[in-house]
Amino acid sequence: MTGRGIHFALSNAQVQAVLEAANDDGLMLVIESIEGEWDEKYLAESDKAWNAIHRCLTDGSLLYESGQYPLNHCICGGEQLYDGEDYTVSFTSAVQVKDVAFALSQITELWLREQYLAIPQDDYGTLSNRDFEYTWEWFQAVRQLYEKASAEDRAVIFTVDC
């Protein structure tokens, strides 16, 4: 998975459309519509840092099911809505968003750095201060989106092309 990640805080109508999509093609039409709106108030880009962020918040791996709730639901651990292998759409319900937002609010830069340094290099690649700073910067944007979504009772989806 090497694409650029984006989180979207969804309106109730968008949640309904996403959850009612009959198949991957229908889901992608809904996602394209959400992306087309590009409502900056309700999105957070994580660029390619989503990979390291997910690893830091879980057990260092990139598996959907890795780590513990609620941190593992920040990036890839929510309900997987897309069945194909060329895209990821992870859904985190509004109730779960509250748990994730609270857990993310407790994370310090020092804690995230410690988790980052524990990522297996043979699976991730070279760890560096520059890459950590990049990860921390994008993490803060994602955390802010979860705080906003939590305050407004919105669900969140994470999308990335693989």
Can you tell me the mean pLDDT for 100-123?
97
Percent of the chain scored above 90 by pLDDT? Answer: 91
Residues in contact with 141: Cβ distance below 8 Å, sequence separation at least 6, in sequence order: 44, 45, 46
- Would you state the pLDDT for residue 162? 79
pLDDT of residue 63: 87
Whether 66 has a pLDDT exceeding 50, the answer reads: yes
Are the C-beta atoms of residues 58 and 72 closer than 8 Å to each other? Answer: yes
Amino acid at 50: W
Domains of the chain by start residue, with CATH: 5-161 (3.40.1760.10)
Encode pLDDT of 94-107 as tens digits: 999 999 999 999 99
In whole angstroms, how far apart are CA 65 and each of 9, 59, 75, 95, 128? 22, 10, 11, 19, 26
* Confidence tier at 2 by pLDDT (50, 70, 90): low
Strands 5-10 and 43-47: antiparallel
Summarised one tens digit per residue, pLDDT across range 7-32 is 999 999 999 999 999 999 999 999 99
pLDDT at residue 58, as a whole number: 96
Residue 1 pLDDT > 70, yes or no? Answer: no
The model carries a pTM of 0.95
Q: How much of the chain, in percent, has pLDDT values that exceed 70?
A: 99
